[in-house]
Amino acid sequence: MKIRFLGAADTVTGSRHLVEIGDQRLLLDCGLFQGFKTWRERNWQPLPVPAASIDAVLLSHAHLDHSGYLPALVKQGFRGPIYCSAPTRDLAEVLLLDSAHLQEEDARRANRHGFSRHAPALPLYTVADAKRAITRLQPMPTGRPWRIGDVTGQLVPVGHLLGACAVRLRGEDGRTLVFSGDLGRADDLLMPAPQTIAQADVLLVESTYGNRLHPHEDVQQHLGAIVRETVRRGGSVLLPSFAVGRAQALLLVLQRLKAAGEIPAELPVFLDSPMAIAATGLYQRHRRALRIPAREAATLCDGVTLVARAQDSEKLTRSRYPSVVISASGMATGGRVLHHLKAMAPNPRHHIVFPGFQVAGTRGAKLIEGAPDVKIFGEYVAVKAQVSHLEGFSGHADAQGLLDWLHGFEAPPAQTWVVHGEPAASDALRSRIADRLGWRVAVPEHGAEVQA
């Protein structure tokens, strides 16, 4: 068994791990690099092996830092299956089409206004590329093994996001590799706790929150207080949100706040993201995979204005009435939320609330760090609105949650690799695993190749 760490090895983004077992090449995740420009530039670098030589991709879940490079891989010649859970297949279709559309739009906007150094600016991939990738998605039942040539694959649900799974590979020699994907929280608002795995010879474990514990806060109470205070001063609350997972959790909390009388029942709530609208429908379709009652899942959008058309979104940015606006993207890296930010950031009556983890280098990270201005569509916009960060909405297991999941292994893996974290987070988790569990553990470098 040989592993090449092609992404999420020195960062918390761009998850790609190439595993060679015998004569087979399998890619665990196929994500986009996001955040700092030096990371994003990796999206344009060719893979170290021909895409056509990869036999299959195994996708842990649909978030773009795990799935968003798939259209580029297919564009480069990949023709194999992309295995995933059924909900992941449905969510990935929505996410990949939206990603391709945004990249095409960003390229057109850059060419129109001339704020790109490239002439012409080109998208990494197109909607047509995304559609070709989607045809290769092959949903598999969770918990049951299946054959990939001489290898046995298995998907194990781990919370975090609808359809998210750890991946388990078993070679003909009986040796196993487990890739955690992104692990969810035991107390997640929407998803059940991660299922544990009993055995692995080689383990790749994520470390997004490897150096942090979630705050002991009641996110419903905190968000309710923010909404009440903002509405009293005549402002609106902007919630930049991941369209998948986070938007649905926010809708759930806002519905509970209204039902409890903690925010005005008549307060307008807008879901301004076609992708979030589509994803909410998928959460309702796959509601048996959620931890909330089916009736709550069915009422997530009751009384919510779904903003699908671009012209209605533009009209919303000009509204002067207090409201709550949920719009993508969650780290303010693109999408409609940028128009809302541009309109709301200069006004001290408004409140911008980031509900979850922000990758270093993104607009979201800069805003919660107190940036006095941010660059939007090629120009700097003053930030006078109040800015808050609600970490309690994170869908990731924290440092203790990661250790709790690792305790589920009946014996130590022969080797554990800590991936998908910023350097400080990955090293902190490495240290915790070594000190508390006594396992053999290391943090790989980007591009490293190891024998497992």
pLDDT value of residue 374: 94
14: left (phi over 0), alpha (psi -120 to 50) or beta: left
Q: Mean pLDDT lowest for which of 30-34, 116-120, 220-224?
A: 116-120
Mean pLDDT for the chain overall: 95
Q: Please count the other Cβ atoms lying within 10 Å of the Cβ belonging to residue 343.
A: 18
- Give the chain's domains with CATH numbers: 2-212+395-451 (3.60.15.10), 219-393 (3.40.50.10890)
Confidence of residue 59 (pLDDT cuts 50, 70, 90): very high
pLDDT value of residue 335: 84
d(CA 154, CA 147): 9
pLDDT value of residue 334: 83
Confidence of residue 46 (pLDDT cuts 50, 70, 90): confident
**pLDDT at residue 121 above 90?**
no
Interval 276-285: pLDDT, tens: 999 999 999 9
Average pLDDT over residues 333-342: 92
335: left (phi over 0), alpha (psi -120 to 50) or beta: left
Helix, strand or coil, per DSSP, at residue 368: helix
Confidence of residue 110 (pLDDT cuts 50, 70, 90): confident
Q: Mean pLDDT lowest for which of 76-85, 199-208, 349-358?
A: 349-358
Interval 236-263: pLDDT, tens: 999 999 889 999 999 999 999 999 999 9
Q: Please count the other Cβ atoms lying within 10 Å of the Cβ belonging to residue 45.
A: 9
**pLDDT at residue 10 above 90?**
no
Q: Mean pLDDT lowest for which of 27-41, 108-122, 186-200?
A: 108-122
Confidence of residue 115 (pLDDT cuts 50, 70, 90): low
**pLDDT at residue 217 above 70?**
yes
Tokens of 62: 């649909």
Q: In the chain, pLDDT over 70 holds for what percent of residues?
A: 98
Confidence of residue 356 (pLDDT cuts 50, 70, 90): confident
| 255: nearest Cα among 217, 219, 220, 307 | 220
| 160: nearest Cα among 241, 63, 294 | 63
**pLDDT at residue 156 above 80?**
yes
| 399: nearest Cα among 442, 357, 429, 434 | 429
**pLDDT at residue 450 above 70?**
yes
Q: Which residues contact 311 (CB under 8 A, 6 or more apart)?
A: none
Confidence of residue 116 (pLDDT cuts 50, 70, 90): low
Q: 445: burial class by Cβ within 10 Å (0-12, 13-18, 19+)? A: exposed
In 41-155, which ranges are continuous DSSP H helix? 64-67, 70-75, 86-113, 127-134
Confidence of residue 117 (pLDDT cuts 50, 70, 90): low
Average pLDDT over residues 382-387: 97
d(CA 34, CA 398): 21
**Cβ(180)–Cβ(171) under 8 Å?**
no
Confidence of residue 391 (pLDDT cuts 50, 70, 90): confident
pLDDT value of residue 329: 85
